[in-house]
Each structure stands twice: as C-alpha cells, then as structure tokens.
Structure 1
Amino acid sequence: MHKINIFLPFLFFLMLFGCMANDDQGDEQKNIKLDNKSAQLIEADNAFGLDLFQRIRATSNEENLMISPLSVSLALAMAYNGADNTTKTEMETAMKLNGLTVDQINNSYEMLVDALQSLDEEVVFEIANAIYYQEGFPIHQSFLDINQSVYKAEVESLQFGPAAVDIINAWVADKTHDKIKTIIQDLSPQARMVLLNAIYFYGTWTKEFDEDGTKMNRFTKNDGTITEIPMMSKTDELEYTANELFSAVKLPYGNGQYQMVVMRPEDGYTSTDLVKELSMEKWTEWSSQFSEPQKVQVTMPRFKFGFKSQLNNILEQMGMEQAFTSNADFSKISDEKLYISEVIHKTYIDVNETGTEAAAVTAIVFEVTSAGPGPEKIYFTVDKPFVFAITEEDTGAILFIGEVQNPEYEE
C-alpha cells in the first residue's frame, strides 16, 4: 500500500500571506512568502475551517456540501474589530486566534487578500467585503475606517426595508458573478447592520479533461446504491498519495499555485469516515506526504451544486456564545447595544472538463437588543462519495472544502 501523502490544507480557508515575492523575470510565477505571524494565522484559519466543516457535516442532511473557511473567517475578522471584553475573547477562541493581536490579524489578512488576488493571471480569484447599516444609526468611525482600509470594505448607509434587501442581494450577485443571487430574505425591524464577505474563484485546469473522454461510469453511494453518471477522464503528471484510509491527487489550475485536492476513501471506508478523521495534525501530516508528480489516470465525476448553512448554533458550540445574546459587547462598533442575530453562509461550485467555478458569501446580521515512485500508471477512479478542497500552494490556505455524496450536473 502506498505510504500516503495527503491532501492539502483546505480551504478553506485560511491562508496567507506575508509578502509576495516575484521572481526576477516578469513572466515567472509569483509566490507568497510568510512571516511567522502570517503563518500562525493561516494555521489558525485552517484549524477553524476543518473544525467548522466537521461540525456542519455532522448536523447537515444534505448529500453535497461545501464551505469557504476563508469567507467565514474574513467576515468574522471584520466583526471582531468591533468586539470587546468577553465577546472578543470568545471570538478569539472560536476562531482559534489566541496569541495574535488585533493588529497582527488585520495586517496579515490585508497582505493575504492582496497576494491571493494577484497570484495567478490564469486564475480569477476575487474577494470583496461590504458593510451596510441603517441610515442614521450611530456607528463609530474608527470601526468603519479599519474595515475600509484593511478589508477594503464598501460602506453604505441605507433605509433598511425591502429596498435595502434588494441592494444587498444585488451586491452579492455582482460579486459572485450571479452564481449566488441572494443571501438574505428580509431585515427585521431591529436590524441595524449587515456585514458581508464574497469570494469568487474561476480556474481552468493546467491540463483540461478531454470532453470526448467523458463516459458513463458506475458510482457507488455511501448506502450501497449504484448509479450510472458521466465521468471525466485524463492522464497527467500529478502529485499522488495513498494510505489505508484514502488515496488522493492534486489537480492544478493555471500555473499550479491553486489546486484541487480530491480524496477518495479506500474500500471499507466512506467519505463520512474521512471527514471525521480531519484534524490540523493529520491534515499537516498528509499534506507532507504527496509524491513528486507521476503518471496518473484520473476518472472522476463532473459536479455542480449550491449549499446554504446558518452558522449561529455551530459557532456557539465552538465557543462564540455571548455574541449571539443581549449581553454581547460590540461597543467598538456603536454605543448602542448590538448583538449578532444571524451568520449565513452560502456557496456554489461547478467542476467540469474545463475547470472550476466557485463562489461563497458570508453575511453577519447585527440587531439592537430590546432593551516513493509508484507504478508506471496509477488509476485513480472516483467511483464513490469523496472529499475535495481548493487550496493555495505556498500558504497551504484552504479556500473551499466540501464533500460530494451524490454528484449531479444539470446543464
């Protein structure tokens, strides 16, 4: 059995930064170098994302799901700048940011976002943030300033009501290229602020799948049901790993800085078993074990789906409790008593022969209180539910992570 090497840090979802280092030649690919604090933040974000993904999987009945750890982390980081006392401490615990100062967190995210968006000219990676608040509601200018300067947030006051809902959803649709068209349905009379993060990713495979090679193939679900679905296929030089739990390949996009890690459970195991084993320790160990590129024939499904989750209860379980109560302390946002009424997360992904298009939106609604060499060719056939992640090579940041139990693809 091959001694495996793993899938990358998901996600997703964290990343980072330090500074971008360009090779001397203008056409050479760019790389991201991390300073110690940036590396610490990425590790915290990845740990947060893996924990969040496991908890959502454990509570969701959806066959297919995906989250963007980076989107959730960025939205919470913006809100974190307005928290104080116990609320602030609990957010640090939930986000696994203990040991980092507010300035270190903000500086690292600023570098990260700038670096990720300019890393690969062949990959579209866009990050946008916004703050919409009730017209006339007193928000501290210092809170708006830090989010505008560090997180490049668009800030606008609105008369909250149906028209404001339309404006907010239009922003979401625009920033996700219409892949996610709505994030909120209405605003309660107590709503005073909506904080938003949107991420959009479009990457073509470094070597595309041959559309003529897509054929019907058997796919066995976790319950043993067998279906016939279209499977893409290609042979390429790819990093590969295998162990007793799963085998995995890295499928690169563009110049190779971004990649999708596809993890197929070994016989006797399911994708659910794989998700349960995820931890930062194992993720790091597995990531270090990928082989040098070798010839691999990849056969896998196309898939396309959307997913939505309300994160209030899960974030509370992770230690962020006070923020959702009338005792919340967001005094660095406003002198008025604010608490978080909703954290909503929506994602979309389309994986086909050409590449991958993915998007994520996180909305935080604030309300006022009432008061070694392998064989010559390796066959990697994803014929059962699997886990995937889109990551960045230099930082190990997890941009997106998901599980596919029922690959569907509607044209």
Structure 2
Amino acid sequence: MEAIMYRKALILFYSIFLLLIMQCSDTAMKPGPIDPPNLTPAQREVITASNSFAFNIFKEIVNNEADTNIFISPLSISYALGMTYNGAEGETKEAMADVLGFAGMDDLEINESYRDLTKTLITIDPEVIMEIANSIWYRQGFEVEQEFIDINQEYFDAYVAALNFNNPGAKDIINDWIEEKTHDKIQDVIKQIDPLTMMFLVNAVYFKAAWKYEFDPDDTEVEDFYLSGGAAVDCDMMHQENELFRYFNDNFQAVQLPYGDAGFCMSIFLPRQGHPLDDLIDQMDDDAWSDWMGNFTADTTIIKMPKFKLKYDRELKPDLAALGMGIAFEPYDADFSRINPEIDLYITSVLHSTFVQVDEEGTEAAAVTVVEIGTTSIDPNENLMHINRPFFFVIHDQYTDAILFMGKISNPVWED
C-alpha cells in the first residue's frame, strides 16, 4: 500500500470528551430506555460555547504538536477553568469568558448549566460509567472569599480543603484524590508544591463503557498501520461488520460506534488518502461539526480499527494564552480578587493528564485538569472502512450535544 503522508492523529471526544459532549447524529438510533433531556436555552448556549472551546483548544494543541499522539478532555479543562472563572474579575474575567465562549452570559446561567450538565452526563446511560469530580485545595492560612467557596460547592459539588502546603505529604493527599477519582488511571500529577502556590482547582473525569456491538477478539489480527513518514508498524487490528451510522464524502470517511444503550458514542474520522489529517482537523468548528453530524446515515459497514492504549500529559498555558487568555497568567495583571482581594493572584499552571484504552470490549478513559493559582511576592470498497492510517475520533453524548474527549493519533500504541 502506498505510504500515507499524514501526521499522527487520534481524537476522543467532547467531551468532551474533548468535554464537551456532542450529539452522535441527528438520525442516530435512540434506544427506548433513554429519554433525551430537555435543555434550557442557557444550557444549550453553554454546551455550544463549550464545544467551540473544545475545537479551538484541540486545534491549537495539534498545531503545536506535530506527529504525536494527542488525547484531551475539553470537558475536564472546561470544568477546571469554570471553577477558576468564579474567582476572576475585570479584564481577566472578560478574557476567560471570551476563550470559554461565555461572553454575554451571566455567572448564574453559566454555573447552573455546569451543574445541570453534570447531572445529565452521569445519569443519561445506565450502561455507561460516567463520573465527574471537582475539588479545591488551598494553602492553610490563606484566606479565601467564602462566596467563591460557596459557589463552587453549590454548582460544581467541589470538595474544598485547606492543607499545609509546606508539608511534603500535601501533594500526596491531592494526588491520592486524583488517583481515586480516575480509578487509578492517572497518578502523581502534582510533583511538588511551590512556596508561592496558594491554591489548586482540580477536575477529574472518568468514563468506562462497553461497545453496544463488541468486537470479537478472535477476529483481531496483527496488521500494518502506516505512520506519517511512510513506515509501517504492527498493530492489533479489530474487525467488525454491522449496521452503523456512517458518513463518507470526498474528503473523509466517518463512522459512529455506540456504547451501552447508545447514550454515548465514538465518532471516528479517517481522511481520504491525499487529504492531510491536520487539514481536516483545522476545518472543525460549530458549523462543520453540525453539518457532519447531520449527514450520518445507517448502512452495513465493515470496520477495521486498531486497539490502542496511551497516556498523555500537557501544560496548557501556552495554548490558552494563544487563544486569548494570556492576562490570567501575568503575575501583575491578572485579577482573581474574587478569590482573595488582598493578594495578587494569577494562574501559574494548567496541567492536563489523560488516559485512554480502546479494545474489543469498549473504551476506558480518564482525564484530570489542575489549575494552579500562585501569588507574586477514498477506499474502492465503500462498505469497508479500514483504519490503517492516521485518524481522529470523538466520544460524545448524542442527547445533550456535548463533547467529552478528543484526541489525535497515528501510531496505535498499547502502553502498559
């Protein structure tokens, strides 16, 4: 087979997970046991804004990480920054609102929508494990505005605790919380605590679901997967033939694999040969996504896709600054006076760690975002979709139109 000159790619949603979760398809099969939630205009606006943020942050990371596997949870990032947003004021608040897509919305609408989205996501499909947890850890003796704590407890159900950050065991307490909430999939995120660190705002997302139509392990075979430079590597290629929702056009092939009772699904996008993956990713925005989702139709589909398992870590400060949130990272310009009006505070770090495993049974994924606050002192067989070259996929909820996870990969590694 001719070598394929694409960058490595893998997307796992929306959210989601890119978070953000999005509708699998306007025509997707909706099982009887699940009743689509009735979203208010404000909730819909927040989800749309969150999905826009998902596309923007993902594209920014892809532009800065060529030929690497990428897996993020826009949902997790959005939640962590959403809690932080409740402490911002002035130009800092405006910049965060613009990046997160909240410009023109009031704080109550935003916070209520986060709360309601959480309730929807964790209950929408009884066959899927979907968990969202938030926490705030602050330096013992550091005074935090009670309203900031109250808001994040009420709308984000945040666990709040004061810790002696000077104690070497403080980071272990936070890391243990992260490990518990991600079912041991993400560990040791916080390596040390700087003497000027005043607070950590942490979100954790955990997702585990079996495919609605599982792959037969006996059909899995070792096959070639073609990297961006043209070299072939071995991968465990899964096989399945089923009636699935798909969308094939001149630029890409796409298929949707539902989980559980079909409340969530993974949408996989494979560029046609000669169409670079990153160019397809660059096209993603609200209009393109809506158009793509509206064109999926059910048909008998043969799908061959690789198993993969990986971890991903990234410091998101440069990406968020490039999107317009730079003021929040400036020691003397940032305004987080709604956390503490007496001390100059700014965001010193936005750490993002993820895990994903995709195999014959289904998908397990986890993500953690830690905001640290410091101070200054076409294939010829149209029924066959053979995913043997770089692709991206999205895991998303088909009722709330939110995105959970997003990623990019070209080498389907299986990391133990």
TM-score by length of 2: 0.91
1:328 aligned to 310, 325, 334, which one? 334
Q: Which residue of 2 aligns with 1:319?
A: 324
**Is the Cα contact below 8 Å between 1:139 and 1:334 reproduced in 2?**
yes
1:264 aligned to 239, 261, 270, which one? 270
User: Does 2:78 align with 1:73?
Assistant: yes
Q: Name structure 1 gaps, 5 residues minimum.
A: 1-6, 18-24
CA-to-aligned-CA distance 1:251-277 (integer Å, 9 cap, x gap): 000000100011111111232222222
2:351 aligned to 344, 348, 355, which one? 344
2:360 aligned to 350, 353, 363, which one? 353
Matches within 5 A, 1:92-111: 92-111=97-116
CA-to-aligned-CA distance 1:211-230 (integer Å, 9 cap, x gap): 00001222111221122321
Q: Which residue of 2 aligns with 1:171?
A: 177
**Is the Cα contact below 8 Å between 1:117 and 1:127 reproduced in 2?**
yes
Equivalent AA in structure 2 for residue 342 of structure 1: S
The 1:62–1:369 alpha-carbon spacing in structure 2 relative to 1, beyond 3 Å, is farther
Q: CA deviation at 1:201?
A: 0.1
User: Does 2:123 align with 1:126?
Assistant: no
User: Does 2:252 align with 1:238?
Assistant: no
Q: Which residue of 2 aligns with 1:288?
A: 294
Q: Which has the higher contact order (CA 8 A, sep 6+)?
A: 2
User: Does 2:41 align with 1:36?
Assistant: yes
Q: How many Å separate the matches in 2 of 1:137 and 1:358? A: 35
The 1:8–1:245 alpha-carbon spacing in structure 2 relative to 1, beyond 3 Å, is farther
Q: Which residue of 1 aligns with 2:312?
A: 307
1:89 aligned to 78, 90, 94, which one? 94
Q: How many Å separate the matches in 2 of 1:275 and 1:98? A: 25
CA-to-aligned-CA distance 1:66-104 (integer Å, 9 cap, x gap): 110110011111000111111100101111111211100
Q: Which residue of 1 aligns with 2:206?
A: 200
Q: CA deviation at 1:16?
A: 8.4
Q: How many Å separate the matches in 2 of 1:122 and 1:271? A: 33
Q: CA deviation at 1:231?
A: 0.2
CA-to-aligned-CA distance 1:127-152 (integer Å, 9 cap, x gap): 00000000111001110011111100
User: Does 2:374 align with 1:367?
Assistant: yes
Q: Which residue of 2 aligns with 1:394?
A: 399
Q: How many Å separate the matches in 2 of 1:403 and 1:16? A: 18
**Is the Cα contact below 8 Å between 1:16 and 1:108 reproduced in 2?**
no
Q: CA deviation at 1:9?
A: 6.5
Equivalent AA in structure 1 for residue 278 of structure 2: T
Q: How many Å separate the matches in 1 of 2:235 and 2:319? A: 34
CA-to-aligned-CA distance 1:38-61 (integer Å, 9 cap, x gap): 111111111111110011111124
Q: CA deviation at 1:31?
A: 2.1
Equivalent AA in structure 1 for residue 375 of structure 2: V
Identity %: 38
**Is the Cα contact below 8 Å between 1:347 and 1:359 reproduced in 2?**
yes
Q: How many Å separate the matches in 2 of 1:264 and 1:182? A: 34
The 1:278–1:378 alpha-carbon spacing in structure 2 relative to 1, beyond 3 Å, is same
Equivalent AA in structure 1 for residue 365 of structure 2: A
Q: How many Å separate the matches in 2 of 1:324 and 1:380? A: 44
User: Does 2:158 align with 1:153?
Assistant: yes
- Counterpart of 2:218 in 1: which secondary structure? helix
- Counterpart of 1:239 in 2: which secondary structure? strand
Q: How many Å separate the matches in 2 of 1:16 and 1:103? A: 23
Q: How many Å separate the matches in 1 of 2:83 and 2:187? A: 22
Q: Which residue of 2 aligns with 1:21?
A: none
Equivalent AA in structure 2 for residue 387 of structure 1: F
Give the stretch that moved more between structures: 274-283 or 198-207: 274-283
Q: How many Å separate the matches in 2 of 1:377 and 1:248? A: 11
- Counterpart of 2:172 in 1: which secondary structure? helix
Equivalences, count: 392
Q: How many Å separate the matches in 1 of 2:415 and 2:81? A: 33
Give the stretch that moved more between structures: 347-356 or 319-328: 319-328
Q: How many Å separate the matches in 2 of 1:77 and 1:317? A: 18
Q: How many Å separate the matches in 1 of 2:77 and 2:93? A: 16
**Is the Cα contact below 8 Å between 1:337 and 1:368 reproduced in 2?**
yes
Q: Name structure 2 gaps, 5 residues minimum.
A: 1-11, 24-30
Q: How many Å separate the matches in 2 of 1:284 and 1:223? A: 32
Q: CA deviation at 1:8?
A: 8.6
Equivalent AA in structure 1 for residue 103 of structure 2: N
**Is the Cα contact below 8 Å between 2:14 and 2:74 reproduced in 1?**
no
